[in-house]
């Protein structure tokens, strides 16, 4: 891995992307071997993960 400094001074790690050996005809498979048959995407106007990056110290409106 290569450490690359960012504008904010927080380092990020980059790795080389290699093609996946998985067969694309199998579809999306998780690490337990389960195949995804449907996906749900949710779009919000605010982040709802409540992490330290998005949450101010005094809370959200």
Q: In angstroms, what CA-CA distances link 54 with 7, 10, 27, 39, 44? A: 18, 16, 33, 25, 13
Residue ranges per structural domain of the chain:
1-61
pLDDT in tens, 3-41: 555 556 665 666 665 655 666 666 888 888 888 888 888
Chain Cα centroid distance, residue 6: 18
SS3 at position 39? coil
The reported pTM is 0.30
- Please state, in angstroms and rounded to a whole number, the distance separating the CA atoms of residues 38 and 10: 36
Q: How far apart are CA 37 and CA 32, in angstroms?
A: 15
The pLDDT, as a whole number, for residue 12 is 61
């Amino acid at each position: 891995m290569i450490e690359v400094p960012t504008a904010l001074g927080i380092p990020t790690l980059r790795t080389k992307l290699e093609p996946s050996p998985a067969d694309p005809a199998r579809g999306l498979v998780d690490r337990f071997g389960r195949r995804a048959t449907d996906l749900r995407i949710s779009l919000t106007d605010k982040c709802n993960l409540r992490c330290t990056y998005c949450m101010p110290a005094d809370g959200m409106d």
